[in-house]
Chains A and B, each alone.
Chain A
Amino acid sequence: GAVVSQHPSRVICKSGTSVKIECRSLDFQATTMFWYRQFPKKSLMLMATSNEGSKATYEQGVEKDKFLINHASLTLSTLTVTSAHPEDSSFYICSASTGLAEYNEQFFGPGTRLTVL
């Protein structure tokens, strides 16, 4: 149980294009989803928290207009990197939480590796 998928697992795009990454909870309803970014040999940095049906809450320093997050259903959240540039190349990881456990246990997706040429 508690499986989270991400699609695509790897994407290469040209500078200036937009890329959408999907995060799905496959066997549970996720009231909250989180998006992280991880640079090579670095830790996971939380980008934003999204609750189903409401606007995402972005962490300080994360550009809302650059990283569009939509949590349209209890099983799907999307991250769109708009007008991507080489510096946006990174490993993006999502996680999902049922919100039932006090500690807001997060189940992590396998990650999406974005390369912007």
Chain B
Amino acid sequence: AQKVTQAQTEISVVEKEDVTLDCVYETRDTTYYLFWYKQPPSGELVFLIRRNSFDEQNEISGRYSWNFQKSTSSFNFTITASQVVDSAVYFCALSATSGTYKYIFGTGTRLKVLA
């Protein structure tokens, strides 16, 4: 069975604080892909990153960084120096071979950045 767990339902931080959003996944496949999406109040999903199971390098994009650790089946997302515009719901998703590459979404983490 495939599963994505985002244990943090809601996080509130003050602007300029760093915040990490956790994502733990389950799959028996050796080939799989992990994603992070941002969903602002408008509802449209904004693609942030895709990672395949063979690439464990961490990635940094501006204030965003991702830590992929296969040993703990985690793909965590850190926002450095958070801003009010970062307020949104963030979803982690898994796509794997045995699931015919359907996307399995986590339950999402609502991030509130306070001015």
Contacts and interface: CB of A to CB of B under 8 A. Distances in A.
A46 B102 contact: yes
Nearest to B93: A44
B43 A104 contact: no
Interface in A51-84: none
Given A43-B108, A104-B95, A106-B103, A113 B33 contact: no
Interface string A11-49: 000000000000000000000001000000111101001
B103 A91 contact: no
B108 to A, nearest CB: 5
Contact of B106 (A43, A103, A105): A43
Interface residues of B, number: 21
B41 to A, nearest CB: 12
Given A44-B91, A93-B45, A111-B44, A105 B50 contact: yes
Contacts of A111: 43-45
Nearest to A113: B43
Contacts of B103: 34, 44, 46, 95, 106
B50 A103 contact: yes
Interface in B46-87: 47, 50, 52
Contacts of A43: 91, 105-108
A102 B50 CA distance: 13
Interface string A73-117: 000000000000000000101010000001111101111010000
B95 A110 contact: no
Interface of B: 31, 33, 37, 42-45, 47, 50, 52, 91, 95, 100-103, 105-108, 110
Given A41-B110, A104-B95, 5 more contacts: A43-B105, A49-B102, A103-B52, A103-B101, A105-B50
Interface of A: 34, 41-44, 46, 49, 91, 93, 95, 102-106, 108-111, 113
